[in-house]
Structure 1
Amino acid sequence: MSDQKQTSIAKFKSKEALIGIIGLGYVGLPLMLRYNAIGYHVLGIDIDANKVEQLNAGRCDIEHIPNESIAAACESGFQATTDFRRASECDALILCVPTPLNKYREPDISFVTNTADSIKSYLRPGQIVSLESTTYPGTTEEELLPRVEEGGLVAGENIFLVYSPEREDPGNPNFETRTIPKVIGGHTPACLDVGIALYEQAIDQVVPVRSTKAAEMTKLLENIHRAVNIGLVNEMKVVADRMGIDIFEVVDAAATKPFGFTAYYPGPGLGGHCIPIDPFYLTWKAREYGLHTRFIELSGEVNRAMPEYVLNKLIDGLNEGGKAVKGSRILVLGIAYKKNVDDMRESPSVEIMELIEAKGGIVAFSDPHVPVFPKMREHHFELSSEILSAENLSNFDAVVLATDHDKFDYDFIKLNAKLIIDSRGKYRAPAEHIIKA
């Protein structure tokens, strides 16, 4: 075992290492809290000066991360900064930055490369660099490796490079950072050993694979598996609806089979930072190898068509009552991308709102987790969450149930709404004023 590798491993095992986390959002903050809770000093680095100031004051905008947890972390040594020069102080640099798609639905890894460019001058022997952002196979080798080695360091000898994809499920009380197994791939066997030493302190189960590419592909497979199966059940929903069959009843019945079937439920489209995006990372990279991933792309087409499907159900429902979308007041229930969270990334609810507005509808929303429509890169509404009083509900021509938060009183909504477009299967019993979408 090389001296450098041995020293680095010993530092992580003794908890003397300073953990640097770059990107203090939905992925970076839970990881920070975990390392802080088990006795490590953690330095957070982010380009957002407002976020850094807020965190250092013990506050956080993410609903499921309590201010008390951030304040306690600050009291026990956590610090946030916008100064990338401080990367030199860290023994581990864990990159938790966004990897969105551009307008051509191609991977935008500029946050990864910009971060690597920002820290490369401050890298030193003994550090480990770990990328957690979802990306295409080859990113760590093709983009991070040359930047890490640019100053003369050699990955696997005096600096260590790994890929370990984030696995977070906000709103799911059954899992936390510690209990979700962690896949990790190293650029070399020595890199992997140091990576295991970094993560095994904080995570109950570390799952090593033989390369960074294998770890990158693992993350894509997990999310493509989900995207394809949701695409399948969304297509089944359209067929079942045309045949007068309740797809939710069918899925529930199929789920009683104790083997060979996993229940996926249809919805108004895909949301979040993973499922709608990750398949396109692989389809884009596959083209470099002359491959056309038809199965994945087809499921993407089906899922992307769902907001339009919901809109058409709304049009049908209003038509039945002799109304057009134009001039009608439409309330969208739930604008976060999944139930019981405040995360708006890639939310299909927002696309539904835009489609309604494009048809001349007067759109509003109600979401107990999102009091004010947030600033988003590509979407803009000057709206606040509506109160769900009997009078307010009855003033809308239609209610579109887009995200099925537990905080909604569904019986109350059913009693007071004129027309409900249910894209989540919350209303199983048929009713004249409820249309399944």
Structure 2
Amino acid sequence: MSTAATRTAGPDHLWSVDEHLDDILATVRPLEPIELQLLDAQGCVLVEDITVPVSLPPFDNSSMDGYAVRVTDVAGASEEFPAVLTVIGDVAAGQAEPLHVGPGETARIMTGAPLPPGAEAVVPVEWTDGGLGGGPVTGMRARSQAPEAAGGHVHVYRSAEARAHVRAKGSDVKAGDRALDAGTILGPPQIALLAAIGRGTVRVRPRPRVVVMSTGSELVQPDEQLGDGQIYDSNSFALTAAARDAGAIAYRVGAVADDAETLRDTIEDQLVRADLLVTTGGVSVGAYDVVKEALSSVGDEDEEGAGIDFRKLAMQPGKPQGFGSIGPDHIPLLALPGNPVSSYVSFELFVRPAIRALMGLDDVHRPTVRATLTTDRALASPKGRRQFLRGTYADGKVTPVGGAGSHLVAALALADALIVVPEDVESVEPGTEVQVVLLG
């Protein structure tokens, strides 16, 4: 790393949440754009404005199964005095040479088919005795036998105004209109629009590839038998899911034992498929803090500017953090604490914005709101630390769930928000308005 903040911060510097995040976002750069097929571009961010080359729909077409008519020919039509028109043929969707509807004539038309020349409106089949799969209008008397496709006649029992049941050319978008702006995330509706205007490929920033690994010899994979002193590895699952939720292509690596050489080898093996590396565990001051041991001196061996800086942040949970870059391509690496709540909160505050920055998004943050704290007692917060408490938010109110402990996974599963208590606040009374980060 080579940011100004890193160069000037000493080893005893207590970083604020904002300083740490600013350092990350100053280092992480959006991925280079590539051209992708539409379905491969889902979830990616556009890097170009998309202009409509052809109007949608590209021609006037019917919104109903029915009959294409001239307005004067059905004026005054009723149950008692129906208009009788000669059927000159059928107009189907995709038909290249539509019929011409003259005075006293009609063409049977299908939904989506082009309105034939001479016709001004469409009367639904239910208004006729045509029998195109729909029954007559409720209350109408029995109809005569359905007409032949051409040469027969059809009775029309209602009048129609000009353009009735007609989708006008360009009524969706017109040629030359801007369909999508650069910076748009491509979801299913956007993919549909691109296909509808004839775009088979699109230029986007690819979804970041994020590799997640947890460390600790005590970790066991789900479905395996727990031994004495062992726990199941939940962090790598939580963070991989969170990375996917943020828009990344995420790869989960099995837990790495507390061995520095093994961890370094594992990380080096993963560099080939990573735009961002995330580790969890081993970043505090314990005897087996393997991530610090493995990566503290990595800058001595890699290209100039690489290296991992381990820090203390003025926050709870999540005080120990690591950030830097590794390998010849300077792949960003965020080292998170190992307690489950600390790990997840750190992801939301630091890793998720980094992923969104790699995607090239302007707004990388979760939405925040002000909400009234609903609780039966005051919330305590350590002086000089920004605290993030789990909560549930609804209708302008937020309620804490669980306690402040960084191991309370069950409470975390119930939360859809983080309650933010500033560094200079040591107690928050019920009814106080607080800042809330929305996670859902």
How high is the TM-score relative to the length of structure 2? Answer: 0.22
Q: Which has the greater radius of gyration? A: 2
Higher relative contact order (CA 8 A, sep 6+): 2
